[in-house]
Structure formats: C-alpha cells, structure tokens
Chains A and B, each alone.
Chain A
C-alpha cells in the first residue's frame, strides 16, 4: 500500500475511533428520573402575575416536558411544585401535556400546590405533599381593583366610547353593570366547572365530591390526604421512591431539567426587585379585562 494512503487511512481511523469513543462516553445509558421545577405563578410567558412576580412559563415547561419525554434514559418524571396557581390556559396546557406523557409522573408539592398548580398536580399519576403543604384552592378568580370611586373623588370622568356593549367590561374606571357581572360570572362558572371535572377525572373522584371541595379553600397536606386530593405524605425521598416504583426500576439518577434562562435568573435574581415593582404597577395600570387574566 502506498505510504501516504496508509497514513491518511490510519489518521482517518484514529479520528473515527476518537469520535466513536466520545459518543460512547457522552451517551449515558443509566436510568434517570427527571426533576422538573414548577415554581411561582404559572403563566404562558413566565412573567408572573400581580403581587406574584416570579413565575413559571408554560411554554418553557412544555419544552422541558417534551425533552424529558423524548429522552430514553428518563424513566419517570417528578414535578417539583411550589406555586399558588396561575392563568387558566397555562395551567391547562401543562396538565394536558402531563396526561399524554406515557412515563410515570409524580407531583411533589412543596410549599404550595394550589389552584392551577393543583390542577397540574392532579394530572400526575401520584401526588405527594408534606403534612404542612398548602393544597387545593379549587376555584377561579378574576378579581381586580376598581377606581371609579377614586376618580369621582378627584372629579375625573371616564368618557365611555365603545362600539360593543361589553367592549370595556372589567375596566377599573367604572363599576360593573349587573349585565356585565352576570356575563363575567357565567364565564368564570364555566371555567370552574371544567376545572372541577378535570380534577374529578384525574383523581378518579366524583364530580359532586370535588364540587364540595371546590370552594377555593386551601387544605393542609394532612387534610388533603383524607380528602383524596393527594396520595401520600412526604417529601423528595418519597417522591423519588414513588417514581422508581411506578417506573419499575430499583436505581436511578435524579436529573434536574430546567431551561438555561431559569438557571441564569437564579444567579442574577436582582431582576426580582424590578418584577415586584412591575407587579404592583400592573395592578394600577393594566387592570382591564383584556389585559387582566382569569386565574385558576
């Protein structure tokens, strides 16, 4: 064989072996459990809601769930929930996604898993919470501040220029009319009923039973287990054990799945001060219906 051909082939072989080894080293074949944090108010963008400035973005959580679902080394998922709830759509789309995941999903409620966050937890195969965790708050709110009295006191007039009867429903500058309130409450009741039905189906409870609990009341973990809103009392260890049990594995590595932005905001959380200001400001400025969100 030609000397130079031999050199070229040998160098090519070394290159191929190096890349092959590299691929093998990076491929981790051990079983893993994905730990997915859902913390703060749940919104589509993760910008938070008034007075709850830190938020979880449903868009990003859906991406992380997809990654965990597609990763063959991930055998189960743990949702680390500490959230007071969020917007209806954001909570619903996460809950819908969780129901479609074929791998076992365990919801581990830490401080609170209330309202929309409980909706998400209810979609999991198993719910674990501490005795002192806050669970439940099944209900819907779209309350807002109304300034019409304040405006009247300062002799400021709201000049209403609308082309549809309900175009400015929920504006903070005028009182709700009876018709508007009726319309508004009708929508909230529809969402409420949907929420109740979802929880009933997810938790294998009767709709009537869930309806009794759906007063917006929060329950402590020790109460929630008696009401069948959760399956087990415990913390991280119990969540990991439940995941292993459901996945049928004895050993697994716990891997935190989070997007890069969350990691950076954790490092540079001076942003929080800005968000608090933004949250209070948005209560004062952005409270008409089209900007305000219906929250579960």
Chain B
C-alpha cells in the first residue's frame, strides 16, 4: 500500500462522504436482499393477532451484525473500506497493530444511526478527530499527503 509520508488526520467531510459511499454499498448487498424477501408474499395470511414478529427482529439483527462486519473485515485486512479507498483515507492504529477485535469495536456504532451520532458527538465535545469508539479501539483515520 502506498501509505502516507506524513500522518495527516482525515477531514470530517471526507469521512462523512466515505461513510455514505459505504452505506450505499451496504444497502445494496446487505439491506436489500434481507428486506426484499419480505415483499415476496404470494399468499395472504390473515394473522392480525398483534404478536411480535420474530422475523423482523432476526432481519434487523442480521443487518446490524453484517454492517459492522462489512467495515471490520475491510479495515482489518486493507485498513480501508471501499468508501475510504475512494476518498483516499485509511484507518491507522495508534497503538501497535490493528487487530480484528479493535476493528470490530471501532465500528460497533455503525449498527445504528443513533449510536453513530452519539459516537460522533464525542468528536464535537472533545474537539478531536476520533469518535469515542475509535479512542477505545486505539485507532484514528488518516489521509494520504
């Protein structure tokens, strides 16, 4: 990999664009297949008994886990997700090597928009370039210079 000569933190703008590019890919390869089946009913089943739908819970959980895994697998192996690659930014461990568990921890908040927002609020409050979970996972996002 053609890494930086000088470590420069990635701008928030670049990170947001990279996130949305990845989010589009995640929607296409994970969200769509799991959601599409629910619109494939051939028969009418009249079960309006108000029971909690376990299938929805399984679908939501599967999407959340696969979403976290998407970023974790790419960042652990390439230090970049496809979105980050296009924006020329990458994940850098601040302490030793990037382990898979660190990659998972730094991406946990991506399973929910609200969690990610809270995670990002840490950047505003602390005036830092790291999300809260990035500090926990001892990672930062840098760009080439």
Give the B-binding residues of A (Cβ under 8 A): 3, 6-7, 10-11, 14-15, 17-19, 21-23, 25-26, 67, 255-260, 263
Contact = CB atoms under 8 A, between A and B. Distances in A.
Contacts of A255: 45, 47
Interface string B5-40: 000000000000000000001000110111011101
Contacts of A25: 34, 37, 55, 58-59, 62
Contact of B82 (A7, A19, A23): A7
A105 B43 CA distance: 20
B116 interface: no
Given A15-B29, A26-B40, A258-B44, A7 B62 contact: no
A26 B82 contact: no
B-side binding surface: helix, strand, loop or mixed?
helix
Contacts, number: 65
Contact of A17 (B38, B47, B58, B66): B66
B53 to A, nearest CB: 11
What is the interface residue range for chain B against chain A?
Answer: 20 to 34
Contact of A26 (B25, B32, B55): B55
A26 to B, nearest CB: 5
Interface in B61-92: 62, 66, 69-70, 73-74, 77-78, 82, 85
30 contacts: A3-B78, A7-B74, A7-B82, A7-B85, A10-B74, A11-B25, A14-B69, A14-B70, A15-B30, A17-B66, A18-B66, A21-B62, A21-B66, A22-B33, A22-B36, A23-B37, A25-B34, A25-B37, A25-B58, A26-B40, A26-B55, A255-B45, A255-B47, A256-B44, A256-B45, A256-B46, A256-B47, A258-B46, A263-B44, A263-B46
B98 to A, nearest CB: 16
Contacts of B34: 18, 21-22, 25
